Amino acid sequence: MELRTAIRQRRAVRDYTQEPVSAATLRELISAASWAPSAMNEQPWHFTVVTEAALLDEISSRSKEWMLKGVAAMPRPGHFRDLLADPDFHIFYHAPALIVLSVPGDGQWGAEDCALAAQNLMLAAVDQGLGTCWIGFAQGWLNTGEGHNVLGLPRQSRVVTPIIVGYPKTAPPPVARKAPLITWIGTMAAPPEPEPPPGASNGTLIHP
Protein backbone atom coordinates (compact mmCIF):
# COMPACT_ATOMS: atom_id res chain seq x y z
CA MET A 1 0.00 0.00 0.00
CA GLU A 2 1.24 3.48 -0.81
CA LEU A 3 2.10 5.57 2.21
CA ARG A 4 -0.21 8.40 1.20
CA THR A 5 -3.10 5.92 0.93
CA ALA A 6 -2.35 4.48 4.37
CA ILE A 7 -2.20 7.98 5.85
CA ARG A 8 -5.62 8.84 4.40
CA GLN A 9 -7.20 5.49 5.24
CA ARG A 10 -6.13 5.35 8.87
CA ARG A 11 -9.14 6.11 11.04
CA ALA A 12 -9.94 5.67 14.69
CA VAL A 13 -11.75 2.32 14.54
CA ARG A 14 -14.36 1.70 17.25
CA ASP A 15 -16.14 -1.37 15.89
CA TYR A 16 -14.27 -4.68 15.64
CA THR A 17 -14.90 -8.27 14.67
CA GLN A 18 -13.83 -10.86 17.23
CA GLU A 19 -11.30 -12.38 14.83
CA PRO A 20 -8.04 -12.58 16.76
CA VAL A 21 -4.95 -10.84 15.42
CA SER A 22 -2.10 -13.32 15.23
CA ALA A 23 0.98 -12.91 17.38
CA ALA A 24 3.08 -12.76 14.19
CA THR A 25 1.02 -9.85 12.87
CA LEU A 26 1.17 -7.99 16.18
CA ARG A 27 4.92 -8.53 16.17
CA GLU A 28 5.15 -7.02 12.66
CA LEU A 29 3.30 -3.92 13.86
CA ILE A 30 5.75 -3.62 16.74
CA SER A 31 8.66 -3.90 14.30
CA ALA A 32 7.20 -1.03 12.27
CA ALA A 33 6.81 0.99 15.48
CA SER A 34 10.42 0.41 16.43
CA TRP A 35 11.62 2.07 13.19
CA ALA A 36 10.33 5.41 14.46
CA PRO A 37 12.83 8.13 15.29
CA SER A 38 13.56 8.69 18.96
CA ALA A 39 15.47 11.36 20.85
CA MET A 40 19.16 10.43 21.02
CA ASN A 41 18.10 7.10 19.45
CA GLU A 42 17.17 5.88 22.93
CA GLN A 43 14.27 3.77 21.62
CA PRO A 44 12.88 3.85 25.17
CA TRP A 45 9.58 2.12 24.34
CA HIS A 46 8.33 -1.03 25.99
CA PHE A 47 5.46 -2.82 24.25
CA THR A 48 2.98 -4.74 26.40
CA VAL A 49 0.57 -6.85 24.35
CA VAL A 50 -2.72 -7.81 26.00
CA THR A 51 -5.02 -10.26 24.23
CA GLU A 52 -6.78 -11.70 27.28
CA ALA A 53 -10.39 -10.52 27.02
CA ALA A 54 -11.02 -10.74 30.78
CA LEU A 55 -8.06 -8.45 31.47
CA LEU A 56 -9.18 -5.97 28.81
CA ASP A 57 -12.64 -5.93 30.45
CA GLU A 58 -11.07 -5.32 33.85
CA ILE A 59 -8.90 -2.45 32.59
CA SER A 60 -11.94 -0.93 30.91
CA SER A 61 -14.06 -1.05 34.11
CA ARG A 62 -11.28 0.18 36.36
CA SER A 63 -10.42 3.03 33.97
CA LYS A 64 -14.04 4.14 33.82
CA GLU A 65 -14.34 4.15 37.63
CA TRP A 66 -11.07 6.06 37.92
CA MET A 67 -12.11 8.69 35.36
CA LEU A 68 -15.59 9.13 36.85
CA LYS A 69 -13.95 10.38 40.06
CA GLY A 70 -12.37 13.27 38.14
CA VAL A 71 -15.09 13.83 35.54
CA ALA A 72 -16.02 17.32 36.80
CA ALA A 73 -12.66 18.63 35.61
CA MET A 74 -13.02 17.14 32.10
CA PRO A 75 -14.24 19.14 29.10
CA ARG A 76 -17.96 18.41 28.53
CA PRO A 77 -18.35 16.72 31.96
CA GLY A 78 -22.03 15.85 31.41
CA HIS A 79 -21.26 14.01 28.19
CA PHE A 80 -18.38 12.09 29.74
CA ARG A 81 -20.30 11.31 32.95
CA ASP A 82 -23.08 9.68 30.92
CA LEU A 83 -20.60 7.80 28.76
CA LEU A 84 -18.43 6.54 31.61
CA ALA A 85 -21.43 5.56 33.75
CA ASP A 86 -22.88 3.50 30.88
CA PRO A 87 -22.21 -0.18 31.73
CA ASP A 88 -22.31 -1.01 28.01
CA PHE A 89 -19.49 1.41 27.17
CA HIS A 90 -16.25 -0.52 26.81
CA ILE A 91 -13.27 1.80 26.47
CA PHE A 92 -11.56 -0.74 24.15
CA TYR A 93 -14.71 -1.37 22.07
CA HIS A 94 -14.12 -5.11 22.61
CA ALA A 95 -11.09 -5.04 20.32
CA PRO A 96 -9.19 -8.34 20.49
CA ALA A 97 -5.79 -6.79 21.25
CA LEU A 98 -4.24 -3.87 23.08
CA ILE A 99 -0.64 -2.75 22.65
CA VAL A 100 0.52 -0.44 25.42
CA LEU A 101 3.64 1.63 24.78
CA SER A 102 5.34 2.70 27.97
CA VAL A 103 8.69 4.20 28.92
CA PRO A 104 10.89 3.72 31.98
CA GLY A 105 9.76 7.15 33.19
CA ASP A 106 12.96 9.05 33.61
CA GLY A 107 13.53 10.26 30.04
CA GLN A 108 12.70 13.76 28.82
CA TRP A 109 11.27 12.71 25.45
CA GLY A 110 9.39 9.51 26.25
CA ALA A 111 5.97 10.82 25.22
CA GLU A 112 7.24 12.14 21.90
CA ASP A 113 9.12 8.92 21.15
CA CYS A 114 6.11 6.71 21.91
CA ALA A 115 3.72 8.90 19.92
CA LEU A 116 5.95 8.57 16.85
CA ALA A 117 6.25 4.82 17.32
CA ALA A 118 2.48 4.57 17.75
CA GLN A 119 1.84 6.40 14.48
CA ASN A 120 4.14 3.96 12.64
CA LEU A 121 2.25 1.10 14.27
CA MET A 122 -1.13 2.52 13.27
CA LEU A 123 -0.05 3.07 9.64
CA ALA A 124 1.44 -0.43 9.43
CA ALA A 125 -1.89 -1.76 10.74
CA VAL A 126 -3.78 -0.09 7.87
CA ASP A 127 -1.46 -1.89 5.47
CA GLN A 128 -2.49 -5.21 7.09
CA GLY A 129 -6.22 -4.46 6.85
CA LEU A 130 -6.36 -3.78 10.59
CA GLY A 131 -7.97 -0.98 12.53
CA THR A 132 -6.52 0.82 15.53
CA CYS A 133 -7.42 3.55 17.98
CA TRP A 134 -5.32 5.35 20.59
CA ILE A 135 -7.24 4.98 23.86
CA GLY A 136 -6.40 7.98 26.02
CA PHE A 137 -9.19 6.84 28.38
CA ALA A 138 -6.90 4.03 29.53
CA GLN A 139 -3.90 6.21 30.35
CA GLY A 140 -5.05 7.54 33.73
CA TRP A 141 -5.73 4.27 35.52
CA LEU A 142 -2.92 2.39 33.77
CA ASN A 143 -0.56 4.97 35.27
CA THR A 144 -1.63 4.15 38.82
CA GLY A 145 0.21 1.55 40.88
CA GLU A 146 -2.64 -0.93 40.32
CA GLY A 147 -2.53 -0.27 36.59
CA HIS A 148 1.21 -0.90 36.47
CA ASN A 149 0.68 -4.11 38.43
CA VAL A 150 -1.84 -5.57 36.01
CA LEU A 151 0.56 -4.93 33.13
CA GLY A 152 3.57 -6.13 35.11
CA LEU A 153 5.29 -2.77 34.66
CA PRO A 154 7.79 -1.32 37.14
CA ARG A 155 6.28 1.39 39.35
CA GLN A 156 8.31 4.22 37.82
CA SER A 157 7.07 3.41 34.29
CA ARG A 158 4.96 5.84 32.34
CA VAL A 159 2.19 4.50 30.10
CA VAL A 160 2.05 6.79 27.09
CA THR A 161 0.16 5.12 24.27
CA PRO A 162 -2.50 2.42 24.65
CA ILE A 163 -3.47 1.32 21.11
CA ILE A 164 -6.25 -1.15 20.39
CA VAL A 165 -5.88 -3.37 17.33
CA GLY A 166 -8.36 -5.56 15.47
CA TYR A 167 -10.18 -6.23 12.23
CA PRO A 168 -12.75 -3.49 11.59
CA LYS A 169 -16.37 -4.61 11.46
CA THR A 170 -17.50 -1.40 9.80
CA ALA A 171 -15.56 1.35 8.06
CA PRO A 172 -15.51 4.49 10.21
CA PRO A 173 -17.04 7.61 8.66
CA PRO A 174 -14.62 10.19 7.30
CA VAL A 175 -13.57 12.76 9.87
CA ALA A 176 -13.02 16.30 8.62
CA ARG A 177 -9.71 18.02 9.06
CA LYS A 178 -9.46 21.71 9.84
CA ALA A 179 -7.51 23.69 7.28
CA PRO A 180 -4.00 23.69 8.77
CA LEU A 181 -2.81 27.00 10.15
CA ILE A 182 0.34 27.69 8.14
CA THR A 183 2.72 30.63 8.38
CA TRP A 184 5.10 30.86 5.44
CA ILE A 185 8.31 32.70 6.28
CA GLY A 186 10.68 33.33 3.39
CA THR A 187 10.47 34.32 -0.23
CA MET A 188 8.73 31.14 -1.40
CA ALA A 189 5.17 31.84 -2.65
CA ALA A 190 2.50 29.82 -0.82
CA PRO A 191 0.99 27.15 -3.13
CA PRO A 192 -2.77 27.12 -3.74
CA GLU A 193 -4.68 25.40 -0.94
CA PRO A 194 -5.76 21.83 -1.82
CA GLU A 195 -9.44 20.91 -1.94
CA PRO A 196 -10.76 19.14 1.21
CA PRO A 197 -11.04 15.35 0.76
CA PRO A 198 -14.38 14.27 -0.73
CA GLY A 199 -17.01 13.11 1.75
CA ALA A 200 -15.30 14.69 4.75
CA SER A 201 -17.73 15.54 7.52
CA ASN A 202 -17.37 16.75 11.06
CA GLY A 203 -17.51 13.13 12.28
CA THR A 204 -16.27 12.44 15.79
CA LEU A 205 -14.08 15.35 16.70
CA ILE A 206 -13.97 14.43 20.36
CA HIS A 207 -13.89 10.76 21.20
CA PRO A 208 -17.38 9.34 21.81
Ligand X SMILES: Cc1cc2nc3c(=O)[nH]c(=O)nc-3n(C[C@H](O)[C@H](O)[C@H](O)COP(=O)(O)O)c2cc1C
Residues of this chain that interact with ligand X (CB under 6 A) are: 11-12, 14, 133-137, 172, 175, 204-205, 207-208
CB of 77 to ligand X, least distance (A): 16
Nearer to ligand X, 14 or 148 (CB): 14
Q: Which residue is nearest to ligand X (CB)?
A: 136
CB of 48 to ligand X, least distance (A): 17
Q: Which residues of 68-90 are buried (b: 16+ CB within 10 A; e: fewer)?
A: eeebeeeeeeeebeebbeeeeee
CB of 177 to ligand X, least distance (A): 8
Nearer to ligand X, 27 or 57 (CB): 57
Residues ≥6 apart with Cβ < 8 Å to 45 = 33, 34, 38, 101, 102, 103, 113, 114, 117
Nearer to ligand X, 12 or 123 (CB): 12
Nearer to ligand X, 39 or 115 (CB): 115
CB 137 within 8 A of CB 91: yes
CB of 161 to ligand X, least distance (A): 8
Q: How far does CA 135 lie from the centroid of its chain?
A: 5
CA distance 175 to 37: 27
